[in-house]
């Protein structure tokens, strides 16, 4: 177990306690405490005596070193009385004083019912993002009993945020982690050109998106995957954006452009994270000149995780001929004629100040804030609704225009409304 120096520990303790909230439990920590946490060099056993267990324990003088881009195993032990308990770990990777950002929470699992003498242990994995900044920050281990899981093993997690005020019974323990800069090599943790067997670089020369125009070389000597992750495109959930791709086509007529966005931050480009931007014109690349051009639209889902993620543009010659089947793939392989450019996409919460929510097809949501039920009214009629927390996790959905909010803890949520005229809109709602 690593400890901070006395001076730095005092300064850090004062700073962190000035920033971070404390969750609240209805029934305290009695027989539902955390009794052991093992993570890196942290190996901490805490009280299993009901009369001395506090709902919040400050162990921020204990720390461990982490490397950005690496994964680490964490084990948590504790009794759970009559009902199973959920365990979630939060790490403030961007050091902004909260655990609300995408990629800062880890569902470790569910502890079975047990008394303090035969308490169980669960083990999970913490992935430190490759883009996590260097420095010292807070880690929170949060445990809460889940009454619904008593009869339903598939019940939803009972912990929505690191600052829940409607928790039932459990405990919170805070620790410190020291993050060192990433030792991964671009484009890691995403796939590169390792599976390309035959290569002809045919460059992308310009990307125009959300008011930014990014030009690059067109001389045939560029890398097959270019690192432009320093260019950040800002977008909002639930909004659509035009994008234009310019590049050479080597005289071919079936050169496609696709965008691949890791919207769920799982370090791969899934099948539902693909955007077909069309085919470029038939043209030969000329140095310093525009060549083939295509334009498309990128729709940011209402449930996209907030924060920065990888945004990949692939321009590729597609063919089924003597060369075999050539495709536009997020991870180029085989015979590849084209180029890949990687950027950063920063997804923000839905922009509810835009005209989108005041159009004829917009919805009225009331009362807002609410402590009980919520009513949704649309001129076209409600087809369905979906409610998300600010981390992008879908919590519930339905088709009724009266929504019972009593099961949700106090806080801010997003509701996506689908109308019968095939339109959708997103509103911010507050549960008191």
Q: How do the pLDDT tens digits run along the chain, 432 residues long? A: 444 444 444 444 444 444 688 899 999 988 899 999 999 999 999 988 767 788 999 999 999 999 887 889 999 999 988 899 999 999 999 888 899 887 899 999 999 988 888 899 999 999 888 778 789 999 999 999 999 999 888 889 999 999 998 899 999 999 999 998 777 788 988 999 999 999 989 899 999 999 899 988 777 788 999 999 889 999 999 899 999 999 988 777 899 999 999 999 888 999 999 999 999 876 666 655 557 899 899 999 988 988 889 999 999 999 887 767 889 999 999 999 999 999 999 999 886 443 333 344 467 898 988 888 889 998 888 888 888 776 566 788 888 999 988 888 877 778 888 888 777 777 878 888
> Cα–Cα distance between 58 and 5 in angstroms, integer?
16
Q: Quote the pLDDT of residue 9.
A: 45
Same domain, 338 and 406: no
Q: What's the token pair of residue 104?
A: 């800062």
Q: What's the token pair of residue 292?
A: 């083939």
Same domain, 203 and 147: no
> Cα–Cα distance between 366 and 92 in angstroms, integer?
34
Domain that holds residue 244: 195-348
Same domain, 401 and 334: no
Q: Are 391 and 106 in contact (CB under 8 A)?
A: no
Same domain, 164 and 236: no
Backbone dihedral angles phi then psi of residue 358, each to the nearest 5 degrees: -120, 10
Does residue 18 sit within a domain? no
CATH (domain of 56) = 2.60.40.10
Same domain, 164 and 32: yes
Nearest residue to 159 via CA among 418, 169, 189, 405:
169
Same domain, 143 and 36: yes
Does residue 307 sit within a domain? yes
Does residue 57 sit within a domain? yes
Q: What's the token pair of residue 232?
A: 């950040």
> Cα–Cα distance between 373 and 406 in angstroms, integer?
7
Does residue 29 sit within a domain? yes
Same domain, 207 and 336: yes
Same domain, 233 and 128: no
Please, where are the H alpha helices in 168-218? none
Q: Are 240 and 298 in contact (CB under 8 A)?
A: yes
Backbone dihedral angles phi then psi of residue 286, each to the nearest 5 degrees: -120, 125
Q: What's the token pair of residue 58?
A: 């400050």
Domain end, chosen from 348, 378, 404, is at 348
Same domain, 229 and 264: yes
Does residue 188 sit within a domain? no
Q: Any idea what the Cα angle at residue 331 is, between residues 330 and 334, rounded to 5°? A: 125
Does residue 12 sit within a domain? no
Q: Are 204 and 40 in contact (CB under 8 A)?
A: no
Pairing label, strands 333-348, 195-201: parallel
Domain end, chosen from 145, 180, 215, is at 180
Other C-beta atoms lying within 10 Å of the C-beta of residue 272: 8
Same domain, 140 and 281: no
CATH (domain of 390) = 2.60.40
Same domain, 281 and 166: no
Domain tally, the chain? 3
Q: Which residues pair with 365 in a beta bridge?
A: 376
């Amino acid at each position: 177990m690593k400890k901070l120096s006395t001076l730095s520990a005092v300064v850090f303790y004062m700073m962190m306690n000035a920033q971070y909230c404390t969750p609240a439990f209805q029934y305290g920590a009695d027989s539902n405490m955390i009794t052991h946490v093992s993570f890196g060099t942290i190996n901490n056993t805490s009280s299993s005596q009901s009369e001395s267990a506090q709902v919040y324990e400050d162990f921020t003088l204990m720390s461990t070193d982490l490397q950005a881009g690496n994964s680490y195993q964490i084990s948590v032990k504790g009794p759970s009385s009559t009902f199973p308990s959920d365990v979630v770990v939060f790490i403030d990777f961007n050091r902004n004083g909260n655990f609300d950002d995408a990629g800062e929470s880890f569902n470790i699992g569910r502890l079975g019912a047990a008394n303090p003498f035969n308490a169980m242990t669960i083990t999970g994995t913490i992935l430190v993002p490759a883009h996590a900044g260097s420095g010292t920050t807070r880690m929170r281990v949060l445990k809460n009993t889940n009454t619904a899981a008593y009869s339903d093993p598939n019940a939803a997690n009972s912990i929505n945020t690191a600052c829940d005020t409607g928790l039932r019974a459990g405990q919170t323990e805070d620790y410190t982690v020291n993050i060192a800069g990433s030792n991964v090599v671009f484009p890691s943790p995403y796939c590169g050109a390792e599976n390309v067997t035959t290569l002809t670089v045919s460059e992308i020369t310009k990307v125009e998106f959300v008011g930014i125009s990014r030009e690059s070389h067109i001389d045939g000597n560029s890398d097959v995957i270019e690192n432009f992750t320093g260019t950040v495109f800002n977008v909002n959930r639930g909004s659509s954006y035009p994008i234009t791709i310019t590049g050479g086509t080597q005289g071919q007529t079936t050169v496609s452009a696709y965008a691949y966005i890791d919207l769920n931050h799982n370090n791969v480009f899934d099948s539902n994270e693909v955007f077909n931007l069309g085919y470029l014109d038939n043209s030969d690349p000329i140095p310093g000149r525009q060549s083939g051009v295509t334009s498309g639209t990128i729709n940011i889902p209402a449930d996209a995780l907030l924060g920065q993620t990888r945004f990949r543009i692939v321009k590729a010659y597609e063919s089924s001929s003597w060369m075999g089947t050539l495709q536009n793939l997020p991870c180029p392989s085989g015979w590849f004629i084209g180029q890949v450019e990687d950027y950063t996409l920063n997804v923000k919460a839905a922009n509810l100040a835009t005209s989108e929510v005041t159009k004829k097809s917009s919805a009225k949501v009331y009362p807002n804030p609410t402590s009980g039920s919520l009513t949704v009214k649309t001129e076209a009629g409600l087809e369905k609704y979906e409610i998300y927390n600010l981390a992008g996790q879908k919590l519930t959905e339905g088709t009724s225009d009266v929504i019972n909010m009593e099961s949700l803890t106090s806080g801010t949520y997003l509701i996506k409304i689908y109308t019968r005229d095939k339109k959708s809109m997103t509103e911010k709602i507050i549960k008191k």
